[in-house]
Amino acid sequence: MIFMASKTPIPVPVAPKTRPKADDGGSVVLERRTQKTKPPQMYQVVMLNDDYTPMEFVVVVIQEFFNKDRETATQIMLKIHLDGKAICGVYSRDVAATKVDQVQDAARQAGHPLQCVSEPIE
């Protein structure tokens, strides 16, 4: 079976090629400006202290979800314990929200009330 178009296709008009004219002094030249995009808003993931979550569990969570070595994770855990909170990492909004969800899910599964929040960096 052969299908035929009811109308012949109309060619797309092409702009005529013109040669650049010699500058007669009346031309306007536009300068190309580079567009600067702002970097994305960053968020810090903050872990909060409580009196029930074991320190060892906090160290393991920091190692697992924030890719810290044991010594750094222990230092962060001690800062959480002494100051009431500590920054575990700085990420874009979506990644920070995912980290918060991962930490809270792990804490719930282990039966601990550990809290974690993300805050925008100003």
pLDDT band at 22 (very low <50, low <70, confident <90, very high): low
Q: Residue 10, CB half-sphere, CA atoms under 13 Å: how many?
A: 2
Listed by start position, the domains of the chain span 42-120
Report the predicted TM-score, pTM, of the whole model to 2 decimal places: 0.70
CATH architecture under which domain 42-120 falls: 2-Layer Sandwich (3.30)
Q: Please report the pLDDT score of residue 17 as a whole number.
A: 62
pLDDT digit string, tens, across residues 26-40: 777 778 888 888 888
Q: Please report the pLDDT score of residue 2 as a whole number.
A: 63
User: Looking at the predicted structure, is the pLDDT value of residue 46 above 70?
Assistant: yes
pLDDT band at 10 (very low <50, low <70, confident <90, very high): confident
Q: Please report the pLDDT score of residue 88 as a whole number.
A: 97
pLDDT digit string, tens, across residues 56-115: 999 999 999 999 999 999 999 999 999 999 999 999 999 999 999 999 999 999 999 999
